Amino acid sequence: MTYTHICCNVEVSLNDNNLGGEIPSQLWSVTSLIQVNLGSNGLSGTLSESVSQLDVLNSFRIRNNFMRGNIPDTIGKLKNLKSLQLSNNLFSGKIPESIWNLRSLETLELHENHLSGTVPSDFCEVMDPKHLSVDDSLWFKAEPEVDCDCCETTDCYMSSVNFDRSDFPCPESNILGIEFSSRIEIHDLIANVTLDHESSVDRFDMQHFCLSPTGCYSVKSTPRNLEYQIGYSALSGNLTDQNTCDAVEICGTIIDSNDPRRKGLNILTQVIQLNTSLLNDTSVPESRALCWLLTEDERYHEYMLCDGTLVQRYVLASLFFSQLHAVPFEDFSNMHTCDWLGVSCDNTTNFVEELNLDNETLRENLASKLSGTVVHEIGQSNRLKPKLTGAIYSELSLLSSLKKINFRGNTLNGTIARSLFTRLPNLIEIDLRDNEFSGTIPDELLTSQQLRVIELANNKIIGNLRGDIMYGENIGEFTLL
């Protein structure tokens, strides 16, 4: 097929299909193109420098693909460009300076890539921040990948959902489908930030967003100018079409829309799988941890909402509340998270990197509490043999800075959670020896490219080691016996 000798203004819309391979080079010869929409396919390869030949192009959308490599500097020659959407790809390197010279841009989406750089302040003056999105998130990062003083950080409050590759966690129960065409603005009435999202299709279509079940939002879509509000309903315990923003009751404490703690509550309920009907049930460890964090924790205000440290404190508190028979949480709950039992953090970021709750650590902690009791004497009494029980707390997968997990010598059971290996990109060592895990070994564990040490000896794991998968090339120690 040839694309040459095509006259007049041309639009190519092949979005939301199953197209694969690279963008054909012939496309760059169609100099009469004014719009290209190849979003939400399976395209790969690099973006050609020849894109600059499309000098009348006003809209270029290739988001939600697998494009890689650098963004060519020649893209800055597209002086008529109004919409540039390259988000949700695998682009890397520095954002080309030439992009900041595209002063005709009305929409720029570069987020969810591996790009770096700085958005110039003078560019911020000509671009509406609601229509500018880069990877400026601090979620479990010491510094953002892209510096942007004028960008609105919205991911920790709400986000659009890419079911294939969204790095931001969202429980399925918190995904809300909204029909709209062209553009939608969702304004968080509690956090006072706006998520602006442009549709990849020119018709009414269902798009999905991750929202907090305890949040309150106004929704505006164009071109039909539909406006309405959705908010937490105390009656239903979830989001409902209503113009009011109900207060949330947490273990007898009322947290209304003006309470400073409401933003933190909304972030927690957005990213964590928590049944809102159990917010007052302190027999549930997750609810008990939420109650403690929001109503009792004297250090609550020390933790930032959008860098993950508040979520990190909640996740570990939930773990310890589920293991009170073995871990005396009240002994260290008033300390900084990084000083909690078995927790080790990076020295500069305060993100948890190691979690050591093996039986030896638990026994030594108990021994230190019992005056005049030596470790040997403790070992003689079953009553004084503290061990973690039950299944691994799945929300540990939210601690994306974790490098090492050591739960050796406990009585943890159930299957090994797959999320530990799909949501922990920095995990290099896991020791689950001498427990009661059952089921088969998750493929995600065996194929992990970052794991170096896997210790699973003395459990109840069944099945065969598969020969039809590519094992992680960095695994240096793997023990099953």
Average pLDDT of the residues in 213-227: 86
What tokens does 224 get? 């039909």
Domain boundary (100, 131, 151) is at 151
Q: How confident is the model at residue 165 (pLDDT cuts 50, 70, 90)?
A: very low
Tell me if 433 is assigned to some domain: yes
The verdict on 71 and 157 lying in the same domain is no
Which of the listed ranges 64-68, 444-448, 470-474 does the model predict with the highest average pLDDT? 64-68
- The string of pLDDT tens digits covering residues 409-432 is 999 999 988 877 778 889 999 999
Domain of residue 473: give its range: 297-479
Q: Is 262 exposed, middle or buried (0-12, 13-18, 19+ CB in 10 A)?
A: buried
The verdict on 131 and 165 lying in the same domain is no
Contact 129, 151 (CB under 8 A): yes
User: Which of the pair, 56 or 377, is modelled with greater confidence?
Assistant: 56
Tell me if 118 is assigned to some domain: yes
The verdict on 301 and 234 lying in the same domain is no
Tell me if 386 is assigned to some domain: yes
The verdict on 135 and 185 lying in the same domain is no
Examine the pLDDT at 375 and tell me if it is beyond 50: no
Examine the pLDDT at 348 and tell me if it is beyond 80: no
Percentage of residues of the chain with pLDDT beyond 90 = 54
pLDDT score recorded for residue 276: 83
User: Which of the pair, 127 or 383, is modelled with greater confidence?
Assistant: 127
Domain boundary (98, 129, 151) is at 151
* Edge-first strand listing for the sheet containing 343-345: 343-345, 352-356, 404-406, 429-431, 453-455, 477-479
Examine the pLDDT at 115 and tell me if it is beyond 60: yes
The verdict on 142 and 205 lying in the same domain is no
User: Which of the pair, 424 or 341, is modelled with greater confidence?
Assistant: 341
Tell me if 288 is assigned to some domain: no
The verdict on 308 and 367 lying in the same domain is yes
How many Cβ atoms from other residues are within 10 Å of residue 340's Cβ? 22
Question: What mean pLDDT, rounded, does the chain reach?
Answer: 86
Examine the pLDDT at 18 and tell me if it is beyond 50: yes
The verdict on 165 and 134 lying in the same domain is no
CA-closest candidate to residue 151, choices 115, 124, 126: 124
Tell me if 228 is assigned to some domain: yes
User: Which of the pair, 436 or 382, is modelled with greater confidence?
Assistant: 436
- The string of pLDDT tens digits covering residues 261-297 is 999 999 999 988 788 888 888 889 999 999 999 999 9
pLDDT score recorded for residue 203: 62
Please report, as a single letter, which amino acid is at residue 425. P
Domain boundary (127, 151, 175) is at 151
The verdict on 380 and 394 lying in the same domain is yes
CATH code for the domain of 161 = 2.60.40
pLDDT score recorded for residue 329: 95
C-alpha pair distances (Å), 77 with each of 98, 128, 432: 8, 21, 55
Average pLDDT of the residues in 97-124: 92
Question: What span, in angstroms and rounded, lies between the C-alpha atoms of 176 and 194?
Answer: 16
pLDDT score recorded for residue 88: 87
Examine the pLDDT at 379 and tell me if it is beyond 80: no
Question: What span, in angstroms and rounded, lies between the C-alpha atoms of 64 and 83?
Answer: 15
Average pLDDT of the residues in 187-216: 82
Examine the pLDDT at 466 and tell me if it is beyond 70: no
Tell me if 285 is assigned to some domain: no
Examine the pLDDT at 210 and tell me if it is beyond 60: yes
pLDDT score recorded for residue 371: 52
Question: What span, in angstroms and rounded, lies between the C-alpha atoms of 273 and 61?
Answer: 33
Tell me if 38 is assigned to some domain: yes
pLDDT score recorded for residue 93: 95
Question: What span, in angstroms and rounded, lies between the C-alpha atoms of 212 and 175?
Answer: 9
Q: How confident is the model at residue 476 (pLDDT cuts 50, 70, 90)?
A: low
Contact 50, 25 (CB under 8 A): yes
The verdict on 338 and 435 lying in the same domain is yes
The dihedral sign for the CA sequence 195, 201, 206, 210: negative
User: Which of the pair, 476 or 422, is modelled with greater confidence?
Assistant: 422
The verdict on 345 and 463 lying in the same domain is yes
Total domains in the fold of the chain: 3
Question: What span, in angstroms and rounded, lies between the C-alpha atoms of 399 and 427?
Answer: 10
pTM of the model: 0.83
The verdict on 467 and 436 lying in the same domain is yes
Average pLDDT of the residues in 458-474: 69
* Edge-first strand listing for the sheet containing 389-390: 389-390, 411-414, 436-439, 460-461
Q: How confident is the model at residue 446 (pLDDT cuts 50, 70, 90)?
A: confident
The verdict on 376 and 344 lying in the same domain is yes
Question: What span, in angstroms and rounded, lies between the C-alpha atoms of 183 and 222?
Answer: 5
Average pLDDT of the residues in 226-243: 91
Tell me if 168 is assigned to some domain: yes
β-pairing verdict for 216-222 and 226-232: antiparallel
Examine the pLDDT at 472 and tell me if it is beyond 80: no
Examine the pLDDT at 202 and tell me if it is beyond 50: yes
Residue keyed to tokens 């939210």: 398
Examine the pLDDT at 259 and tell me if it is beyond 70: yes
C-alpha pair distances (Å), 146 with each of 112, 198, 202, 247, 288: 11, 21, 30, 36, 37
pLDDT score recorded for residue 247: 96
CATH code for the domain of 15 = 3.80.10.10
Percentage of residues of the chain with pLDDT beyond 70 = 88
- The string of pLDDT tens digits covering residues 68-96 is 999 999 999 999 999 999 998 999 999 99
Examine the pLDDT at 27 and tell me if it is beyond 60: yes
pLDDT score recorded for residue 376: 46
Please report, as a single letter, which amino acid is at residue 18. N
Question: What span, in angstroms and rounded, lies between the C-alpha atoms of 15 and 88?
Answer: 14
Q: Which of 307-311, 314-318, 420-424 has the lowest mean pLDDT?
A: 420-424
pLDDT score recorded for residue 406: 97
